[in-house]
A and B are shown apart, each in its own frame.
Chain A
Amino acid sequence: MVIIKDGKCDFCGCCVGVCPENCIELYEAEIKIIDEICTDCGKCVWACPFEVLELRITKNKKDELI
């Protein structure tokens, strides 16, 4: 899953623009990733200008990838 590091986000929307699942919600100064839809593709993590996001592959998702 993708973890949002506290306090670092600038709410710029870069991650939302590259998310193929459209599963990131951004409202003024709040960001939320809908885990059930997220496929852990990691694009949002690389696109983030501030290094706010971190990809932690959970066991279940890892199994699916293999």
Chain B
Amino acid sequence: MAFGKNFPKFDYYDIVVVGAGPAGTTAARFAAMSGARVLVLEKDRDVGYPVRCGEAVSHEGLVQFIEPNPKWIASTVRYFKLVAPDGTVIKPNIEGFGYILERRIFDYELAKLATYCGAEIVTKAYVNGLIMNDGKVEGVKVLLNNSEQIEIRAKIVIGADGVESRVGRWAGLNTTCKLQDMESAVQMTLTNINVEPDTCYFYFGEKVAPGGYLWVFPKGENTANVGLGIAGIYGRQKHALSYLEEFIEKNFPNASILTVIAGGVPCAKTADKIVTHGLMLVGDAAHQVNPVSGGGIISGMIGGKIAGQIAGEAIKKNDLNLIFNYENEWRKTLGQRHERYYKIKQFIYKFSDEKLNEIARELSKIPYENLTLKNLFLTAVKAQPSLIVEVLKLFI
């Protein structure tokens, strides 16, 4: 390899990971730790940029993967406030705390960890097809530096290609996200605003964010990520950007906008199949997202870790069929819980504005000490007795 040239060192790897987000680089890290030769391909010129994320994570989730570092933490958050359509504010009593990240730096750190463990990363490497042989994935087709089309062979390909999730589809896995499950999201980073630096705000309602919610996540004293997601089906009448512009005009009229980003969040159950011969899917590409919150950083990293470890083991033992264990491991660890959350999401988003206001009024009577997420949920169920049957179904 010529020095400074953006080119993979080899044309054959044990494992090729497509996408250098948190799920991809975590998969790469754990695969490389077991001694496999690992390459990560990132289509953009930068790892971690553009950021397409609200950037919130829990401390508990994060420390499984990396020691929190002020370099990439914008705020530490200890409180949630939920705002009903009529403006009633509910402050649930949440355990633990979390962070609003600087994903741009965070993703770099995760990528560095993967390379310290022996993985190689190449940017401006756009995977535009798979090498298939007899129904098996045997490598990737890559457009490098927007100019050179090459092929790289691999025993295992890990698709971490995010919401687009094309890698899986090329291999025959159905990863297309249903329109009603795709949260169409927009976020602006605003400054010159008043925010509570330790509190995350969530706004609900048909007029604010139908089929989703609006968030205000603080990034320091006077800056915040203000964004929203609407269920894709509602975009037919009005697009996500219009909803956000209206909210900001009303609530933060003096803000300066530092950045505007769009994104899609697959708030679905995990895809039906996330493994096939020679291919594993992780992160958004596998729909490893908490369907209620839309949070995908930690879930994706958990998926990445499991996939990376299993892929590494399959290489070490020279038994590629071992990768089929990934599906089961994921479901046991988080996938089954996400299925339950998905059912919860489906009835949460059936609430009308009137019903949400009614629930908020009930909740505002409960003292803070008792307002745990569990009690919050139970009160919501009581307000809508017809839901009790649906809730019971979740646990049966």
Contacts and interface: CB of A to CB of B under 8 A. Distances in A.
A19 B176 contact: yes
Contacts of B162: 13
A57 interface: no
Summarize B's interface: helix, strand, loop or mixed: mixed
Contacts of A17: 163-165, 176-177, 182, 264, 266
A3 interface: no
A45 to B, nearest CB: 8
A34 interface: no
A16 B316 CA distance: 35
A49 B184 contact: yes
Given A19-B176, A28-B45, A46 B235 contact: yes
A59 B198 CA distance: 56
A35 interface: no
B166 A22 contact: yes
B180 to A, nearest CB: 10
B306 interface: no
B164 A26 contact: yes
A10 B51 CA distance: 11
Contacts of A27: 43, 126, 128, 143, 146
A20 B182 CA distance: 13
A19 B178 CA distance: 9
Contact of B264 (A25, A45, A47, A51): A47
B163 A48 contact: no
Contacts of B126: 27-28
B236 to A, nearest CB: 5
Interface string A34-49: 0000000001011111
Interface residues of B, number: 39
A65 to B, nearest CB: 17
B262 A46 contact: no
Contacts of A4: none
Nearest to A30: B146
Contact of A28 (B44, B163, B264): B44
B240 interface: yes
A14 B262 contact: yes
A12 B263 contact: yes
B262 A49 contact: yes
B132 interface: no
Interface of B: 43-45, 50, 52, 124, 126, 128, 143, 146, 162-166, 169-170, 176-179, 182, 184-186, 232-233, 235-236, 239-242, 260-264, 266
Which 5 pairs, one residue from A and one from B, show the smallest C-beta to C-beta distance? A14-B264, A49-B240, A16-B164, A12-B262, A10-B262
13 contacts: A14-B184, A15-B264, A17-B182, A22-B170, A25-B128, A28-B44, A28-B146, A43-B179, A46-B236, A48-B235, A48-B239, A49-B240, A50-B241
Interface of A: 10-20, 22, 25-28, 43, 45-51
